[in-house]
Amino acid sequence: MPSSSELAGAGRLADLVSLTLEEARRQGATQCEADASVSRGLSVNVRLGEVDTVEYQRDRGLAVTVYFGKRKGSASTADLGRAALIDTVGKACAIARYTAEDPYAGLIEPEALARDIPDLDLDHPWDLAPEQAIELARECEAAGLAVDARVANSEGAAVGSQRYSGMYGNSLGFLAGYSSTSHSVSCSLIAEQGEEMQRDHWYSVARDAADLEDVARIGRLAGERALARLGARRLTTRKAPVAFAPDMARGLVGHFIGAIRGTSQYRKASFLLDAAGTRVFPAFMQMHERPHLPKALASSPFDQEGAATHDRELIRDGVLDGYVLGSYSARRLGLKTTGNAGGIHNLLVAARDGGLSAPDFLARLDTGLLVTELMGQGVNGVTGDYSRGASGFWVERGAIQYPVHEVTIAGNLKRMYLDIAALGADTDLRGAVRAPSILISELTIAGE
């Protein structure tokens, strides 16, 4: 990976943004904003010990948005030369002069701008040579293949490293940026028994390579998970409790975030329309947004509009505190931005009592389905209807009995959220949503 000097420095990006804003004002824009960024990365894929791909990635770009009163125009370029920037601003201004007025258009309110920019420890470059990445991927895959003779095939192991530097500025006087890194190791293996083949995977991702899980452990977990799925059965159609493993629970919470996003609310395209102030989860559930966690994958000192990010209790004792808003959707709803232009920042999902241990969680499930993989896109954000293909494990009397595949789980998200019976203590930290296992008291399981 490159050193700081190999990427465009903060001063260079700041100059590009400042030039763009100055040019937009010169061409008559009443308001303007610009975002310049550069990124560079390395990714390696190995399959059965042989190098599959080695890829270098390098991107750069600048986007500018201008406002002529309530008329808006945007343009972007990958050429960061002065002439190209001036031309890009000209195109944005030409678009703005001919678009229809939008009474909600414009920059964020000045009082919402971030004033203090904390250092969140997000930038940890990894001096990773391709040869080193290849050896790490080989070690990871080999550890998984060594788990059992039945783990006889592989979809490969991958090692990746990315570094990003960005700078955002607007005509309100805001100009700030930061660099961040993301490193990952993953492995996907296939277990075989007779004519049956089952696949599973595991991965680790972190800002700092030193925080990644041991590569051999990642491979072993991928192999053990694939092995555990051998002998999978179908179920007869029934209604039963359904538990979502943490990485599956993240998606379940993601549907909730989509429903309370400002665009869904003002378009009246949400199954949680006008739900602020009402109970949408059981009273024991809490959701805390924590944008300033050091090294966290979704930490940010400000959002895509320069609005300050801040701690927030999104769900307090099951009650929805408010929506997830940028400035435009906030104006459409007669509200203020929540600093979420671009998404959520480290949403921590937890039970008031801290959640159940793995044995206690399975005991609370008692008899039902533990979902470890979901397939398909059968989720209606307007009605909340939910239907997805699933696989996992059948549990009886708190103990896993056998793997399950080729079933469909179905319900309605609005009811599902209220029917959450328990949370685990096994929070998955690998994303913007940090969720534990989630148990829903009853869903329809469609099978044979």
d(CA 187, CA 198): 14
d(CA 63, CA 342): 15
Contact in structure between 96 and 71 (CB atoms under 8 Å): yes
Return the pLDDT at 168: 98
DSSP H or E stretch at residue 385: strand 385-396
Contact in structure between 379 and 255 (CB atoms under 8 Å): yes
Structure token pair of residue 421: 């019976």
Partner residues linked to 444 by β-bridges:
239, 410
Q: How many CB atoms lie within 10 A of CB 184?
A: 18
| One CATH from 3.30.70.20, 3.30.2290.10, 3.40.50.300, 3.40.50.2000 for 4-228 | 3.30.2290.10
Contact in structure between 408 and 390 (CB atoms under 8 Å): yes
Partner residues linked to 55 by β-bridges:
43
- Residue 106 DSSP one-character state: S
pTM: 0.93
Structure token pair of residue 9: 């420095």
d(CA 253, CA 255): 5
Q: Which residue carries 């406002």 as its tokens?
A: 67
Return the pLDDT at 6: 38
Query: Which residues does 268 contact at the CB level (< 8 Å), separation at least 6?
Result: none
Buried b (16+ CB within 10 A) or exposed e, 257-271: bbbbbbbbbbeeebb
Contact in structure between 351 and 286 (CB atoms under 8 Å): yes
Contact in structure between 42 and 55 (CB atoms under 8 Å): yes
Contact in structure between 146 and 84 (CB atoms under 8 Å): no
* 119 phi/psi in degrees, rounded to 5: -85, 115
Query: Which residues does 267 contact at the CB level (< 8 Å), separation at least 6?
Result: none
- Residue 89 DSSP one-character state: H
Contact in structure between 187 and 219 (CB atoms under 8 Å): yes
d(CA 85, CA 95): 16
**Going residue by residue through the chain (448 aa), what tens digit of pLDDT does each one get?**
333 333 456 789 999 999 999 999 999 999 999 999 999 999 999 999 999 999 999 999 999 999 999 999 999 999 999 999 999 999 999 999 999 999 999 999 999 999 999 999 999 999 999 999 999 999 999 999 999 999 999 999 999 999 999 999 999 999 999 999 999 999 999 999 999 999 999 999 999 999 999 999 999 999 999 999 999 999 999 999 999 999 999 999 999 999 999 999 999 999 999 999 999 999 999 999 999 999 999 999 999 999 999 999 999 999 999 999 999 999 999 999 999 999 999 999 999 989 999 999 999 999 999 999 999 889 999 999 999 999 999 999 999 999 999 999 999 999 999 999 999 999 999 999 999 999 999 999 999 8
Q: Which alpha helices (H) appear in 229-323, and where do they start and end?
A: 246-260, 262-266
Residue type at 267? R
Cα distance between the two ends of the chain: 51
d(CA 146, CA 227): 12
d(CA 202, CA 215): 10
Q: Which residue carries 């998200």 as its tokens?
A: 413
d(CA 325, CA 448): 44
d(CA 320, CA 2): 44
Q: Where are the domains of the chain?
A: 4-228, 238-446
Query: Which residues does 22 contact at the CB level (< 8 Å), separation at least 6?
Result: none
DSSP H or E stretch at residue 85: helix 82-98
Contact in structure between 148 and 223 (CB atoms under 8 Å): yes
Angle between helices 82-98 and 10-26 (to 10 degrees): 40
- Nearest-CA neighbor of 222 among 143, 158, 132? 143
